[in-house]
């Protein structure tokens, strides 16, 4: 599973991740407040220009992310026209385009390692509560590692089902899938413990003699 971030280096890739997230938050507040069609239209143009400046791949990727929003915008447009307020529907469509497009631009230009580094930095204070700051990064790695494992396990179960029944399994594979997942969790926990575990080194015991 790959991150949605673009592998190339654009000008926006070089900005620090924390700065981009900060700017995005400010821009979102501004976009929520703009109520004029001209204002939101201008915002959409700015976001489109921004995306275009990142290259052709960025445009394509951004359109892919916006596609699922088409139906909801369409429903709203129809709804608002029935209410006699087409302008409101258009305003909504433009805002969604601008906001989602801008957030996508941040996602496209911030590589995963930079975000993980940001998370680890933000997780440092966890140590004060006796929680290992490694847990967020390990959890992310666990999920990324296990999604393909679960998919393969599901395919195996589905094959076994097909070998025994002409009917479709529907939801009946979920319980065995969950059982296998609970077993995996136990094995993984043992493996983690065997490698030193996630507890913080205790003061007084591990620091003796150092």
When asked if residue 10 is in the footprint of other proteins (CB under 8 A), the reply is no
Minimum separation from the CB atom of position 64 to other proteins (A):
8
Q: Considering the complex, state which of residue 197 and residue 201 has its C-beta at the smaller distance from other proteins.
A: 197
Size of the residue set binding other proteins (CB under 8 A): 78
Distance separating alpha carbons of residues 108 and 47, to the nearest angstrom: 13
Contacts (CB under 8 A) with other proteins, residues 113-152: 115-116, 119, 135-136, 138-140, 142-144, 146-147, 149-151
Residues 77-96 that bind other proteins (CB under 8 A): 79-80, 83, 85, 87-88, 91-92, 95-96
Please give the residues from 172 up to 201 whose contact with other proteins meets the rule CB under 8 A.
Answer: 174-175, 177-179, 181-182, 184-186, 188-190, 192-193, 197-199
Neighbouring CB atoms inside 10 A of 27's CB total: 18
Residue 209 CB, nearest approach to other proteins (Å): 26
> According to CB under 8 A, which one of 10, 15, 55, 65 is a site residue for other proteins?
65
Least distance to other proteins from the beta carbon of 115, Å?
A: 4
Burial 121-153 (b: 16+ CB within 10 A, else e): eebeeeeeeeebbeebeeeeeeeeeeeeeeeeb
């Amino acid at each position: 599973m790959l991150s949605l971030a673009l592998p190339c280096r654009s000008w926006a890739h070089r900005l620090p991740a924390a700065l981009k997230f900060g700017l995005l938050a400010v821009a979102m507040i501004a976009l929520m407040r703009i109520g004029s069609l001209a204002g939101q239209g201008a915002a959409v143009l700015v976001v489109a220009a921004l995306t275009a400046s990142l290259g052709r791949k960025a445009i394509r990727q951004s359109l892919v992310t916006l596609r699922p929003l088409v139906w909801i915008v369409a429903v709203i447009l129809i709804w608002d026209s029935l209410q006699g307020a087409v302008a409101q529907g258009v305003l909504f469509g433009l805002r969604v385009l601008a906001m989602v497009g801008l957030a996508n631009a941040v996602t496209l230009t911030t590589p995963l390692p930079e975000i993980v580094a940001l998370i680890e930095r933000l997780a440092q204070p966890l140590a004060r509560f006796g929680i290992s700051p490694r847990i967020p990064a390990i959890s992310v790695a666990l999920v990324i590692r296990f999604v393909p494992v679960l998919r393969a396990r599901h395919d195996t179960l589905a094959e076994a089902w097909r070998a025994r029944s002409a009917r479709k399994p529907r939801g009946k594979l979920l319980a065995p899938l969950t059982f296998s997942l609970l077993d995996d969790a136990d094995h993984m926990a043992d493996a983690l413990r065997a490698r030193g575990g996630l507890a913080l080194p205790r003061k007084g015991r591990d620091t003796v003699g150092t």
